[in-house]
Amino acid sequence: MKTLNQHWLTEGLIDFEYKKYILLAYLQEVKQNFREQKLYPYLSDLVFHYQNLQFIRENKKLIYENFPKEISKADFEKLNISYKKIVQDDELMAQIEEILTFSIPRFKDMLNEGKDMYEFIEDHVNISQVGLTSLYRNEGYLFIAQPQTSDTRVYQYQITLFENAHEKFRGVHTYFLESLKRGIGVTYESLKVDLSRRHKILPNPATYLIESSIQCPLDETLLPIAKRLLVKYISTTA
């Protein structure tokens, strides 16, 4: 994966043509991955950079904070003053503004392309419960099935709750267990019973099935979408 450093705007040479070259090379790789329906980690990466550039444009202090701080002076106060002078350099700030003007709409366009693809794939993915309802839903099994294959990918999942002063967030961790074959007489319910028998740690596990009607990359696309759907499904049906 060709990554874009979080301080790409302010590290190294601050020159419009140079930064344009770096950005276009990065976006070209993102576009190639989107053509292959590989959404992650690029989609979340685009969100981060797009929001970061917007914040920087709105707040000059963020530009100051984003400059790489290579300590070359023992006196921190003098160092602090030197960076403030950088931010007050009109020519330098004009270069940064030109880079921002060029970069922000291109990030937005690529981000919209990724979001459209995400929504298209999500529309072709269905989530359902397998077997009887479990009272404890924050841990269990996640089945993932795609067309043109009889394999069912089996993951053990665990949902954790994060909380700050304003709201609560749910996160989900998955661990790949095994791949099982579907076939005549082998249903998702029977797969669940077999798992419960072999893995005693979850006697009556909550089990959910993610079925995609279109083929797409598992790790880069379907699994991340499945995890988000799982969290949403559990939080709305609890």
Comparing 73 with 232, the larger pLDDT belongs to: 232
pLDDT tens digit sequence for 193-224? 988 888 877 778 899 999 999 999 999 999 99
Residues with Cβ within 8 Å of 43's Cβ and at least 6 positions away in sequence, in order, are: 111, 114, 115, 118
Comparing 88 with 213, the larger pLDDT belongs to: 213
Per-residue confidence (pLDDT) for residue 171, from 0 to 100: 84
The whole-angstrom separation of Cα 98 and Cα 100 is 5
Query: Scanning the structure block, which residue is given the tokens 């100051």?
Result: 64
Per-residue confidence (pLDDT) for residue 77, from 0 to 100: 46
Residue-range domain boundaries for the chain: 16-123, 125-237
Radius of gyration of the chain (CA): 24
Q: 10 Å Cβ neighbour count for 1? A: 10
Q: Can you read off the two tokens belonging to residue 109?
A: 């366009």
- For residues 128 and 188, is the Cβ–Cβ distance under 8 A? no
pTM: 0.81
Percent of the chain with pLDDT over 70: 83
pLDDT tens digit sequence for 128-182? 999 887 878 889 999 999 998 889 999 999 998 765 555 566 789 999 999 998 8
The whole-angstrom separation of Cα 218 and Cα 69 is 40
Q: Rounded to an integer, what is the distance from CA 18 to the centroid of its chain?
A: 28
Q: Can you read off the two tokens belonging to residue 209?
A: 């099935």
pLDDT tens digit sequence for 89-116? 667 778 888 999 999 999 999 999 999 9
